[in-house]
């Protein structure tokens, strides 16, 4: 527990973080990634270049400083961070590196006149307190995943058992463990950590499980990103029989048990976790409205897969919205961008429902606003990012 003086000093720096937090975390990443090459593979360089990761960290640090007196009010933030960390295998030995670079960045960005020895000492103690909370929670998750049936800790070698082209941009990869043992059953909505070596350089990425795990193998479905390192490598080079390492599934964007109607809304490759959620919900007999938006029919993955389920399960209603008509694919239920009126027509009449959505950031901001405007209680509308968390406001 921090002493009262340290807490007061940390709280007094909140206005500085509000105005300069991003400059500080950007400087922090520059220091750390240039001086500690061993942590580079953990970080997606694209998220540094876009500024998304420095922003996510700045927000985390700011929320922590604001709530230093009532850490329980950090709510979902800690769960989100530890799940991301666990899926990328962040370990206790990484924390002192982050701690020392963060303190140096505070000193170098704020200047010695503001970042006095007292300020640095208070932030050092505050960092250690948060690091202890995160390391403790992460160790709990690592142990839980290692001890569960089919579970493991760290990297485990998997062989590509099958690859399936799902749309012009998305390929599914089915992985079975090289040791032929069982695999941990993930919760619908969780994601794996993938570790690959490309031209001798290690990269790690997260991919959502696009099917319920059956205890024997996993399926992920990857969109080829223009200029993207790992997605292009997987699409172009990973063939049946090849091996790579996977970290155990993690993630807190999971389908909570409920008997309310379920609405799953996705844009593009954001469809992946909603597929596992769909099967879990159908198995429990829930009413499901499945809404998917794609740029056009050629880019629409899993249409047949969802249609086949809709044919078998009368409690599943599915709606498709294409930004444009490609003139060849089966028609959508609506054309253009998803409007509030259209969404209103596709939601169950009863608005006391659970909504889960995922897609590009702009799409999610619109969906969030529409759901609220259409009377869906905000706390019943959940989402996740295929990258560092950001604000949708």
Q: List active site positions.
A: 95, 138
Tell me the sheet residues that pair with 177: 158
Q: For ligand HEM, give the closer residue by CB, 33 or 323.
A: 33
Give me the least distance between CB of 11 and ligand FAD, in Å please.
Answer: 31
The only residue of 98, 183, 230, 371 in contact with ligand FAD, by rule CB under 6 A: 230
Using CB under 6 A, which residues numbered 131 to 170 contact ligand HEM? 131, 134
* Number of neighbours of residue 52 by Cβ within 10 angstroms: 18
The only residue of 43, 139, 360, 361 in contact with ligand HEM, by rule CB under 6 A: 43
Of 263, 260, 266, 285, the closest CA to residue 210 belongs to: 266
Within 13 Å and on the Cβ side, how many CA atoms surround 361?
Answer: 9
Does residue 137 touch ligand FAD according to CB under 6 A?
Answer: no
Does residue 57 touch ligand HEM according to CB under 6 A?
Answer: yes
Tokens of 271: 């469809």
Q: Going residue by residue from 72 to 111, which x/- string records binding to ligand HEM, judged by CB under 6 A?
A: --------xx--xx--x-x---xx-xx-------------
Note the helical H segments in 114-266: 117-147, 229-237
Place of tokens 């086949």: 308
Does residue 223 touch ligand FAD according to CB under 6 A?
Answer: yes
- Cα–Cα distance measured from residue 98 to residue 88, given in angstroms and rounded to the nearest whole number: 15
- Cα–Cα distance measured from residue 26 to residue 110, given in angstroms and rounded to the nearest whole number: 13
The only residue of 14, 31, 39, 374 in contact with ligand HEM, by rule CB under 6 A: 39
- Cα–Cα distance measured from residue 89 to residue 152, given in angstroms and rounded to the nearest whole number: 12
Q: Single out the segment in contact with ligand HEM by CB under 6 A; choices: 1-9, 41-49, 166-174, 291-299.
A: 41-49
The only residue of 80, 129, 206, 213 in contact with ligand FAD, by rule CB under 6 A: 206
Of 243, 94, 106, the closest CA to residue 178 belongs to: 243
* Number of neighbours of residue 301 by Cβ within 10 angstroms: 26
309 Cβ contact list (under 8 Å, min separation 6): 278, 279, 282, 316
Q: Single out the segment in contact with ligand FAD by CB under 6 A; choices: 151-159, 180-188, 221-229, 281-289.
A: 221-229
Q: For ligand HEM, give the closer residue by CB, 33 or 176.
A: 33
- Cα–Cα distance measured from residue 137 to residue 142, given in angstroms and rounded to the nearest whole number: 9
Tell me which residues touch ligand FAD (CB under 6 A): 44-46, 49, 191, 205-208, 220-223, 225-232, 269, 272, 386-387
Tell me which residues touch ligand HEM (CB under 6 A): 39, 42-44, 47, 53, 56-57, 60, 80-81, 84-85, 88, 90, 94-95, 97-98, 127, 130-131, 134, 388-389
């Amino acid at each position: 527990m921090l002493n009262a003086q340290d807490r007061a000093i940390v709280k007094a720096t909140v206005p500085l973080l509000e105005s300069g937090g991003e400059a500080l975390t950007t400087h922090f990443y520059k220091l750390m990634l240039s001086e500690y090459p061993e942590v580079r593979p953990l970080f997606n360089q694209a998220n540094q270049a876009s500024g998304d990761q420095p922003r996510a960290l700045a927000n985390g640090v700011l929320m922590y400083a604001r709530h230093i007196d009532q850490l329980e009010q950090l709510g979902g933030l800690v769960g989100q961070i530890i799940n991301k960390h666990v899926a990328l295998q962040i370990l206790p030995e990484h924390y002192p590196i982050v701690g020392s670079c963060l303190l140096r960045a505070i000193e170098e960005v704020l200047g010695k006149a503001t970042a006095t020895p007292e300020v640095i000492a208070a932030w050092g103690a505050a960092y250690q307190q948060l690091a202890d909370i995160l390391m403790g929670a992460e160790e709990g998750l690592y142990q839980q995943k290692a001890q569960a049936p089919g579970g493991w800790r760290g990297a485990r070698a998997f062989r590509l058992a099958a690859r399936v082209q799902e749309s012009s941009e998305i390929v599914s990869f089915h992985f079975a463990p090289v040791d032929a043992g069982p695999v941990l059953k993930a919760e619908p909505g969780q994601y794996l950590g993938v570790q690959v070596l490309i031209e001798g350089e290690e990269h790690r990425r997260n991919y959502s499980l696009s099917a319920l795990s059956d205890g024997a193998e996993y399926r992920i479905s990857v969109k080829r990103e223009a200029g993207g390192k790992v997605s292009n490598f997987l699409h172009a080079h990973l063939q049946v029989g090849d091996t790579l390492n996977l970290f155990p599934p993690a993630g807190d964007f999971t389908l909570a048990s409920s008997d309310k109607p379920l609405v799953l809304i996705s844009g593009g490759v954001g469809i992946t976790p909603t597929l596992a959620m769909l099967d879990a919900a159908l198995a429990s007999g829930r009413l499901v409205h499945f809404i998917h938006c794609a740029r056009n029919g050629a880019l629409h993955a899993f249409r047949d897969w969802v249609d086949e389920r809709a044919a078998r399960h009368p409690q599943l209603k599915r709606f498709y919205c294409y930004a444009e008509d490609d003139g060849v694919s089966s028609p959508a239920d609506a054309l253009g961008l998803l409007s509030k009126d259209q969404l209103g027509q596709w939601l169950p009449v009863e608005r006391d429902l659970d909504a889960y959505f995922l897609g590009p950031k702009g799409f999610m901001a619109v969906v969030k606003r529409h759901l609220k405007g259409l009377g869906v209680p905000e706390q019943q509308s959940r989402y996740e990012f295929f990258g560092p968390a950001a604000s949708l406001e």
